[in-house]
Amino acid sequence: MLTLLSMFYYICLRRRSRSGTRGEALTSRRAVESGHRATLPISVEVEQYAKEVLDFSSHYGSENSMSYTMWNLAGMPNVYPSSGDFTQTAVFRAYGTWWEQCVSAPLPFRRTPKAFHSQDYIELAFEEPVYPTAVEVLETYHPGAIVQIMACSLNPFSQNPPTDVRWEVLWAEEPTRVLTPQARQFSPSITQLSFPTNLIRVEVNSSLLKYYTELDAVVLRGQKERPILSLYKMPRIDICDLSDSDEELSDPGVSFRQAGDGKHINLGNGYFDKLPYELIQLIVSHLTLPDLCRLTQTCKLLHQHCCDPLQYIQLSLQPYWARLSDTSLGHLQGRCTLLQRLNLSWTGNRGALTLTGFSSFMKACGGSLVCLELSCCHFLSEPCLEVISQTCPGLQELNLSSCDRLHPQAFTHISKLTRLRRLVLYRTKIEQTAMLSILTFCIELRHLNLGSCVMIEDYDVVASMLAVRCRSLRSLDLWRCRNLTERGLAELAAGCRLLEELDLGWCSTLQSSSGCFQHLARNLQCLRKLFLTANRTVCDSDIEELAANCPALQHLDILGTRMVSSSSLRKLLQACPKLLLLDVSFCAQVDARIVQELCGLFPNVAIKKSFTQ
């Protein structure tokens, strides 16, 4: 029996035979019917490693070095096939569910599609555009985080970019838990593209991982010429295209009749006519945004319900970043007059959103906003932040994480948002003057993230201002701040006694010999999370002080210290019954045998000890 492909090819040969000789036609027909493919031109497969890292959402490393940064994904592998924790790999900022359990974690958005799993991403440019045949990711430690691989029609090296930028999914899957932390070459089966690409996006979800995932290199394989067989690929038929006519819905008056008392009774919507308005609203509220828009087109009644502004109190557009444009915001604008929480993270890049479209939407819908997520939104500019400060007077949460292309001057507008309670400025170019202005006016801050903000010159001054102006602060992230000293930390601990989370990871200027960590433990007795990552001076006295004063401690990271022994760790584990996470990786006095023993004694605590093969 002929396959579908063979039948299609047979028809093509029949058409060709009309202009050829009868002998050529018979020969071609026999070749198809005997199951043999005709000889096709051979296209050479190109193999290439990433040339450049274009964009990413987060990384474990510093902005001023190469250790654990996303830039390590450019070029050939540095580590593979070795397994373990290596500084030459790319590592994202978080893993597991620990960060979601913290008091600083934002509330999830309703209507997030179940198929959307991505938490982080990286975009890679390759030398030559090809029709992909394979994408290979070399994972060297705790693999399994990759949930989606996409390709873009834009050539990032082209001087004439297309007006229509398309993203297509090559492969997608739910997060998986890989049993072994060993290295692997991940090469999923990908779909064929109708366009060549040299821009690949890898999205990850690390929530099921037991530790940080590490990536070493990405390989793109493909052909310069479009594969012949892709021409025979049958188009997918959308069921929405199968309607018999394009006629509009019947006149709404047909659905009503007039009762004897003159009232109009709706008869055209079946059982929906008997349901209370609020109940239909509740049913509709469980739909995702695309389903809500599709349901709008079914009938007048459901159109009314689906366009009700109450359905758009919360709106997360992050899952649809690849398709969102000014036009999309324009369509939603009339429905979002009561909008309170908006997530535009990852959207608008490469010209998809403009100042005009964003400003128009914010002016129409920003009046009631209390939460605005703008992580990795590279379309943002100083006028955009000015619009936010003018149209969102009640804004309480603002996330500008990894908006690293915003000019430092733009951040001065944030000081006008005096009701802010949560501000995320991770990996931005905010400078000290703007930061001090924000702290002067935004005295209601509860959560502040200044991780990897390398443009701030003196963190001691910032810490002092926080101690004076933001005494209700509950979480502070100073990950990789360059110049915080024991003086600034002492003032912070004295002024912000309600702190529950403090991240001082990779703050190398802090020295345990000054007594700063012991002073911190005595003053911040509400601490639930403390990261002292890579501070080699942390010692037993610091750990014992935490055990004596911080019984609510849940997360502690002392990776890299040389002076902490198993005896102080045992005291800590006994004194802190709520402890869930303890990272002792690269602690010189804590070997694998001690970790195994402590895990047996305290099974409810995830004690982390990474390795290098």
Q: What is the mean pLDDT of residues 130-154?
A: 97
Residue 335 lies in a domain: yes
Number of domains in the chain: 3
Is the predicted pLDDT of residue 31 greater than 60, yes or no? no
Residue 570 lies in a domain: yes
Q: Quick one: 59 and 191 in the same domain?
A: yes
Which of 202, 223, 244 is where one domain is finished? Answer: 223
Is the predicted pLDDT of residue 11 greater than 80, yes or no? no
Q: Please give the residue that has the higher pLDDT: either 128 or 9.
A: 128
Residue 600 lies in a domain: yes
Tell me: the pLDDT tens digits for 343-363? 999 999 999 999 999 999 999
Q: How confident is the model at residue 546 (pLDDT cuts 50, 70, 90)?
A: very high
Tell me: the pLDDT tens digits for 383-435? 999 999 999 999 999 999 999 999 999 999 999 999 999 999 999 999 999 99
For the chain, give the mean pLDDT.
88
Host domain of residue 583: 466-612
Q: What is the mean pLDDT of residues 281-303?
A: 91
Q: Quick one: 452 and 505 in the same domain?
A: no
Q: Quick one: 438 and 490 in the same domain?
A: no
Q: What is the mean pLDDT of residues 35-54?
A: 75
Q: What percent of the chain has pLDDT over 70?
A: 86
DSSP calls for 220-264 = EEEESSPPGGGGGPPPPPPGGGG-S--PPPPPGGGGEEE-TTS-E
Provide the CATH number for the domain around residue 527.
Answer: 3.80.10.10
Q: What is the mean pLDDT of residues 532-539?
A: 97
Which of 180, 195, 223 is where one domain is finished? Answer: 223
3-state secondary structure of 371: strand
pLDDT at position 183 is: 96
Angle formed by the axes of helices 4-17 and 22-33, nearest 10° = 180
Tell me: the pLDDT tens digits for 360-375? 999 999 999 999 999 9
Residue 84 φ/ψ region, left for φ over 0, alpha for ψ in the -120 to 50 degree band, beta for the rest: left
Q: Quick one: 527 and 445 in the same domain?
A: no
Helices (H) and strands (E) in the chain, counts: 15, 23
Q: How confident is the model at residue 257 (pLDDT cuts 50, 70, 90)?
A: very low
The torsion angles phi and psi of 244, rounded to 5 degrees, stand at -80, -25
Residue 280 lies in a domain: no
Q: Quick one: 472 and 400 in the same domain?
A: no
Q: Quick one: 80 and 168 in the same domain?
A: yes
Q: How confident is the model at residue 41 (pLDDT cuts 50, 70, 90)?
A: low
Is the predicted pLDDT of residue 18 greater than 70, yes or no? no
Tell me: the pLDDT tens digits for 231-256? 544 444 333 333 333 333 333 333 43
Q: How many other β-carbons are positioned within 10 Å of the β-carbon of residue 512?
A: 19
pLDDT at position 232 is: 47
Angle formed by the axes of helices 432-441 and 459-469, nearest 10° = 0
Q: How confident is the model at residue 268 (pLDDT cuts 50, 70, 90)?
A: low
Residue 261 lies in a domain: no
Q: What is the mean pLDDT of residues 267-279?
A: 80
Q: How confident is the model at residue 44 (pLDDT cuts 50, 70, 90)?
A: confident
pLDDT at position 252 is: 36
Q: Quick one: 489 and 434 in the same domain?
A: no
H helical segments located in 266-370: 277-284, 289-295, 300-306, 326-333, 355-365
Take residue 612 and report the two structure tokens written for it: 């290098």
Q: Quick one: 78 and 212 in the same domain?
A: yes
pLDDT at position 611 is: 83
Is the predicted pLDDT of residue 290 greater than 50, yes or no? yes
Instruction: Provide the β-strand partners of residue 2.
Output: none
Q: How confident is the model at residue 42 (pLDDT cuts 50, 70, 90)?
A: low
Residue 228 lies in a domain: no
Q: What's the angle, vertex CA 546, arms to CA 542 and CA 552, rounded to 5?
A: 160
pLDDT at position 39 is: 46
pLDDT at position 160 is: 84
Q: Quick one: 422 and 449 in the same domain?
A: yes
Residue 295 lies in a domain: no
Q: How confident is the model at residue 163 (pLDDT cuts 50, 70, 90)?
A: confident
Residue 281 lies in a domain: no
3-state secondary structure of 392: coil
Q: Quick one: 77 and 200 in the same domain?
A: yes
Q: Quick one: 479 and 343 in the same domain?
A: no
For residue 25, what is the enclosing H or E element?
helix 22-33
Is the predicted pLDDT of residue 140 greater than 50, yes or no? yes
pLDDT at position 230 is: 52
What is the sign of the dihedral through the CA atoms of 232, 236, 241 and 243?
positive
Q: What is the mean pLDDT of residues 98-114?
A: 92
Q: How confident is the model at residue 467 (pLDDT cuts 50, 70, 90)?
A: very high
Tell me: the pLDDT tens digits for 180-223? 999 999 999 999 999 999 999 999 999 999 999 999 999 999 99
Which of 167, 193, 223 is where one domain is finished? Answer: 223
Distance of CA 10 to CAs 35, 41, 235, 534, Å? 11, 18, 19, 67
pLDDT at position 23 is: 42
| DSSP designation for 107 | P
HEC letters along 142-179: CCCCEEEEEEECCCCCCCCCCCCCCEEEEEECCCCCCC
Q: Quick one: 75 and 203 in the same domain?
A: yes
